[in-house]
Chains A and B, each alone.
Chain A
Amino acid sequence: MLKEMIAARIANGPLEEVSAHCDGPCGVYDPASARIAAEAALSMTKKILALTPPDTGDSAAMAAYLNTVSRYVTIKEQQAHLAKEELLVLWTDYFKPVHLDAYPNLHDTFWKAAKLCSAVKVEVSLDHANELMAAIQEIHNIFWATKSRDVTYYTAS
């Protein structure tokens, strides 16, 4: 009892601080950045699939259509590539050998997710875009489990 009181008194007094922070690079990681990019790529995939070409005789409408398609495709490719970059950073920088013991399929999960990013970039595939989202959700679950935190997965749309 007395010992605890003295300990509390020392602990609550003015003390020097010592850092157990991560060093720069800051060590702030979150699969959310990959999820946002993948979700944007999924959204663009849906938008491309929903487009209807105009009559070939209407050159102004055709120009607008082609312009829209190329813009959607550009955004889809950029976002799919960004998702891959974000995943690779997470994979190679955040995850360490100790995590592999707990999640032996970690490498396979990331490898397949990165491959899906490529597929979403190259194709107009709703299936692959949805599979990528599922893969990122799995990575979200693994990531937050390694931090012993219960973070609910969500999507923006």
Chain B
Amino acid sequence: MSDKLPKSGWMEMFRWRMGRRRAFRVVGESMMPTIPPEAVIFFDPGAYDDNPPQIGDVVISRHPFQTDVQMVKRVAEIREDGRYVLHSDNPAGSDSRGFGSMPRGHILGRVTSRLK
């Protein structure tokens, strides 16, 4: 699965200005080709306040063991126990196949668009 991220438009920049989006610079190539290294993405921290993450969503998640690391991945599977399996788009990157599934609480929000 590697659905493209929409390019950020006026509304996204407006939402960012209003504090409803956060901007991140992506480091690394595990989300290639969807998100190349050094891309700037907008992220909606409130995306999952009412609805849970869906399969195919590009999300920002806490790292399961490195508490100061946030990572961008794609939801590949939602387990029966409610845990989420995240994958890299780049088949060479590592992902939940490397570190197991993670609880919903680790998923911080949805990546909504790509600015650069």
A interface residues, Cβ below 8 angstroms from B? 3, 6-8, 10-11, 13, 15-23, 25, 27, 29, 94, 96, 98-99, 146-147
Contact = CB atoms under 8 A, between A and B. Distances in A.
B26 A20 contact: yes
A37 B37 CA distance: 33
5 contacts: A6-B13, A11-B23, A16-B22, A17-B25, A96-B91
A48 B11 CA distance: 72
Contact of A21 (B13, B16, B30, B115): B30
B103 to A, nearest CB: 17
B30 A20 contact: yes
Interface string B86-109: 001001111100110000000000
A3 B28 contact: no
A18 B27 contact: yes
A11 to B, nearest CB: 4
A22 B30 CA distance: 6
Interface in B4-39: 8-10, 13, 16, 22-31, 35, 37
Contacts of A147: 92
A18 B93 contact: no
A22 B23 CA distance: 21
Contact of A11 (B88, B93, B115): B115
Contacts of A23: 63, 94-95, 98-99
Contacts of B40: 10-11, 15
Interface in B66-97: 69-72, 88, 91-95
A20 B5 CA distance: 15
Nearest to B22: A16
Contacts of B95: 23
A19 B10 contact: no
